[in-house]
Amino acid sequence: MPEGADAVIMVEETKSDDAGVRIYAEAAEGQNIRYAGEDVREGDLVIRAGTLLRPAETGMLSALGRSFVKVYQKPLVALIATGDELVDIDGAASPGKIVSSNSYSLAAQVMECGGIPLQLGIAKDNMDDLAEKFRDALRADVIVSSAGVSVGDYDFVKDVMKDIGINIDFWQVAERPGKPMTFGARGGRPVFGLPGNPVSSMITFEQYVRPTILKMTGHENIFRRTIRAKLTENIKKKKGLRYFIRGRVKRQEGGFVAEATGEQGSGILKSMVLANGIIVIPEDVDFVKAGSEVMVQLLDNSQDFTKEPEYLND
């Protein structure tokens, strides 16, 4: 500002020519002036440690001349699919073979929460091949396998984890889907053995792996946002297990309502496709009546509960 000036007139309210500048609007003291410190004052805490750098934070850092800041490194997450029945997405389909969809859903989940997926491919149902994949995975910050953690003849994941020095902290969780889950660690590196069924794999990732990755990257809010919603239907369940039911949440006058996305089998991936929330039913109940309030973990980041579910075409 020139010395003595106390207002700025917008150029749209002026006209200039050889004779000078004509001003067509009155000026009030302080008009159109941006004062030093009106955005950020000396000593202000501008961006707190642990803050996600969105476009606004990035712009503020540049405005403050901070070309370098300390950030958390994105963890490398090794993904191992197991099973003789699995083929890659472009593999030859044949009787008794299925596409390893977990390889892709888990990779997408890793990226969604800020990790870097490292696809190590499909391990055959034998100790040697599985051990080779796990040893290769030790270069990553987090290891996630799917399948091979139950009690079948070819479920070798727990044995292989022990053989290569991974200390197993627990096996099996009182939940559905996702009961046969294994967790361990080696040298501070978390190792998750997730179930093989597609929905079980995604749900256990949501509950255990996602918060771990977020914690490793400095986040404080590591769990999904939750709301209370009224059920539109009765739900029966087995007592002693926590149920994670794929649901559709809608906004209703005075709150939210939630309904299941159809059949809830652990192999029905469409139940996840149609879900924008996970309805959580506690262990100590075996029946929840329609109209009861339940907790729902929100999966829909847009928070737009006005849209109807879009069904997949054949």
62-114 per-position pLDDT tens digit: 999 999 999 999 999 999 999 999 999 887 778 889 999 999 999 999 999 99
Comparing 19-23, 32-36, 297-301, 303-307, the range with the smallest average pLDDT is: 303-307
Q: List, in sequence order, the alpha helices (H) in the chain.
A: 55-63, 101-112, 127-137, 157-163, 198-204, 210-216, 270-273
pLDDT number for residue 96: 85
pLDDT for 122 equals 94
d(CA 248, CA 38): 44
Contact 191, 169 (CB under 8 A): no
Instruction: Give residue-wise pLDDT tens across range 175-201.
Output: 999 999 999 999 999 999 999 999 999
Measured distance CA(247)–CA(274) in Å, rounded: 8
pLDDT at 305 over 70: no
Work out the burial of residue 122: count CB atoms within 10 Å of its CB; fewer than 13 is exposed, 13-18 middle, 19 or more buried: buried
Of the candidates 145, 176, 152, which has an alpha carbon nearest to the alpha carbon of residue 244? 176
Task: Identify the pLDDT of residue 1.
Answer: 86
| pLDDT, tens digit (0-9, with 9 covering 90-100), for 11-25 | 999 999 988 999 999
**Residue 301 has what pLDDT?**
58
In this structure, which amino acid lies at residue 91?
G
DSSP one-letter code for 276: S
Residue 309 pLDDT > 50, yes or no?
no
**φ, ψ of residue 13 in degrees (nearest 5):** -100, 15
CA distances 304 to 16, 229, 230, 293, 311, Å, are 50, 15, 17, 20, 17
> Is the confidence at residue 275, as pLDDT, over 50?
yes
| Closest among 185, 151, 155, 150 to 167, alpha carbons compared | 185
Tokens of 258: 């939630």
Q: What is the pLDDT of residue 154?
A: 67
| pLDDT given for residue 314 in this prediction | 39
Strand partners, 192: 144, 183
Residue 148: per-residue pLDDT: 87
- The CA distance from 76 to 74, in Å, is 7
Q: What's residue 231's pLDDT?
A: 96
Percent of the chain topping pLDDT 70 = 95
Place of tokens 């847009």: 302
**More confident site: 314 or 242:** 242
Quote the mean pLDDT of the chain: 91
pTM: 0.85
The more confidently predicted of residues 113 and 155 is 113
Is the pLDDT at 313 greater than 60, yes or no? no
In this model, does residue 36 exceed pLDDT 90?
A: no
CB 229 within 8 A of CB 288: no
Q: Is the link from the previous residue into 95 a cis peptide, with omega within 30 of 0?
A: no
Query: Does pLDDT of 312 surpass 60?
Result: no
Question: Can you list the domains of the chain with their CATH numbers?
Answer: 11-63 (no CATH), 76-216 (3.40.980.10), 226-298 (2.40.340.10)
pLDDT at 266 over 80: yes
**Whether the predicted pLDDT of 9 surpasses 90:** yes
114-153 confidence digits (pLDDT tens): 999 999 999 998 999 999 999 999 999 999 999 988 877 7
